[in-house]
Amino acid sequence: MKYTYQYFKRDISWLSFNHRVLLEADDDNLPLYERINFIAIYSSNLEEFYKIRVADHKAIVSGAKTDKESILASQETLEEINMEVNSQLEERVRIYEHKILPALRQNNVIFYQSSIVEPFHKEFIRNFFNEEIFPFLQPVLVSKGDIVSFLRDNRLYLSVRLFKMNYKANNPSRIQYFVIKLPYSKVPRFIELPQQEGNYYLMYLEDIIKANIGTIFPGYEVDCCYCIKISRDADILIDDTASGNIVEQVKKKVKKRKIGAVCRFVYDRLMPDNFLDFLVDAFHINRAELVPGDNHLNLEDLRNLPNPNKLLRINEKPQPMRLNFLGKHSSIFQYVRKKDLLIHFPYHSFEHLIHFLYEAVHDPMTKEIMITQYRVAENSAVINTLVSAAQNGKKVTVFVELKARFDEENNLATAEMMQNAGINIIYSIPGLKVHAKVALILRRNDKTKPVSSYAYVSTGNFNEKTAKIYSDIGLFTTNREIVQDLHTLFLTLEGKIHQPQFKYLLITQFNLKPELMRLIYHEIELAKQGKEGKIILKMNALQDQEMIDELYRASEQGVQIDLIVRGICCLIPGQPYSENIRVTRIVDSFLEHARVWYFNNDGEPKVYIGSPDWMRRNLYRRIEAVTPILDKEVKEEIIEILNIQLSDNQKACFVDSHLHNIFKYNTAASPIRAQYAIYNFLKNKNLEKIKIRNP
């Protein structure tokens, strides 16, 4: 029977992922402040979602040249988004107010949720307001008219309604409205109050202002005040196919992000209708942008909530380990010359990658270092090492992607600094983002005897800060074909090769998708022959319908498919055409970020790692790099880790046909929490004594 394949909507699927993040805050087994942090992550994720995805749909709906079908589709999606977000926000309120706050109180941390405080704190908050807050407040009168006060993106404002004393009853027209921007740059959002009888006290900055609001407006009586915020469209479109300087265009476009169109106006849901109506008219807000919120907005700030009770248990995450055979003074070059090396972040120390680059700096045979940079850490040790290499006489070439969303300014500043240090900078390719995470160390000597060059292919950025919280893997190898392929890729990025050929590496725009199709088709053929057809795909997102269709077809032929997809997954499991496909989602202490693909290949597995997800943007609008794993021991290590993740019965969920996160709890089996099990697995391997013979 021929079925019509169906797909989840991308944005609704993403909301399912963010709901899974919220569920971590509901887990009583986690340390309390870890749960609070997940509320912050959930809120931060949602903020970016509105700025990019919701703003995009609103632009389609309001676009004069948009076709009717696209408008209707976006309108329908926006309605679904609103329903789902409202449902999730109700759950967030339940978790925060009925679980988190009582749990804090049980641990002697009293977190005030309004301007009403105990009598013994009244003098403190009055003095604190007068001395620390009041000097930085600048109330702005709001009125209906041609002049509209500008509200900054994602900044909290206190909207105030007041009237002159003795005028309210006789002359309602004398009511006035003000907005006050909360002075976060001068005062913390959360204020620690004096202890009392063994209890610790915390209070929101805005609640202290509310408690003293009359001081700001002498001669007036304050009727009420509520927090508001605006989210602005942050998706900047850079037409790098047009003539002109890409650097100057990025600089101009980034500045415009701060004044982007309003995509969300969030307000305290307790605000009276007539108060809200006034603000809507005064700020020219489209009612489609209204989103009711809680008493306290911007809960992403909770990641900075002070922990005054030092006895309160914190989450002890696994600390990065150093590999025994790669001590402080051991040569990674020497090890990799004999055997491929796989590094797992954040379980292994990022210092090994820095050490690798430092070896290149001081190695007399290293002539050139080539590397990509997508998201650069501030004060990056990687960048400092590249600068040292250039100063040490090495030729250094860095491809800097200026179109990395929200990192444009940092990438641009870093690129200019590197250029001033003598590093050859290649900027964005017209029409494409370079998302590959690769490095190449080219070595030569003056003798006829060949020397090894080194390739590094990773699933994560060269960013030591994200390497502490993102789960990624990177491969070091001296395999000549992979080194040559990587050199070809860099020459292509430089515009020196226009029709490259790759033997081992899979590169989008050239050979990635055809090879993926071939690998899936091979598993289908094995299943047709009665052999085991098996595929395991780990990635952050699965959206491309053409690739999903291939997986549907494989399932129909009996190929067993396990998907480990953290975020967006548009493939619908549990259908007649997907009955052999299982979708697993893991959310835990670290962000699952690695992309790993396994094809059983009749018992001789083929395993790949690299930078792309199976999103349309990755497969069609980016340069991505994927490497096969050729070393047998390294391959077995990756397969073991995939099996650990599929065995997780603590933090893993099945995603069902309704986008519900169904936990894989199994009380009959031993508890397996994949990230911690992987850490122990790698730790045990590290304890093995590995001796490296001198070359």
SS3 annotation, 371-431: EEECCCCCCCHHHHHHHHHHHCCCEEEEEECCCCCCCHHHHHHHHHHHHHCCCEEECCCCC
Give the per-residue pLDDT at 255.
Answer: 61
pTM attached to this predicted model: 0.92
Q: Regarding beta strands 157-164 and 176-181, do their DSSP bridges make them parallel or antiparallel, or are they unpaired?
A: antiparallel
- Number of C-alpha atoms within 13 angstroms, CB side, residue 298? 21
Q: Which residues of the chain have pLDDT under 70?
A: 64-65, 146-147, 166-173, 234-259, 327-329, 404-407, 447-449, 689-695
* E-strand stretches of 468-522: 470-477, 506-507
Q: Residue 582 corresponds to which tokens in the numbers above?
A: 């299982």
**DSSP class per residue in 99-132:** IIHHHHHHTTEEE--SS---HHHHHHHHHHIIII
Give the per-residue pLDDT at 66.
Answer: 76
Give the per-residue pLDDT at 638.
Answer: 98
- pLDDT tens digit sequence for 39-66: 999 999 999 999 889 988 988 888 766 7
Residue 522's alpha-carbon distances to 60, 564, 574, 605, in angstroms, are: 41, 21, 24, 12
Active site includes 435? yes
- Do residues 375 and 436 lie in contact, with contact meaning Cβ atoms separated by under 8 Å? no
Give the per-residue pLDDT at 67.
Answer: 86
- pLDDT tens digit sequence for 284-308: 898 888 888 889 999 999 999 999 9
Catalytic choice (435, 522, 593, 658): 435
Give the per-residue pLDDT at 692.
Answer: 41
Give the per-residue pLDDT at 167.
Answer: 60
- The residues pairing with 520 across neighbouring beta strands, listed in sequence order, are none
Angstrom distance (rounded) from CA 110 to CA 309: 11
Domains along the chain with CATH numbers: 9-107 (1.20.58.310), 114-309 (3.30.1840.10), 332-502 (3.30.870.10), 512-687 (3.30.870.10)
- Number of C-alpha atoms within 13 angstroms, CB side, residue 321? 18
Angstrom distance (rounded) from CA 556 to CA 479: 38
- Number of C-alpha atoms within 13 angstroms, CB side, residue 239? 3
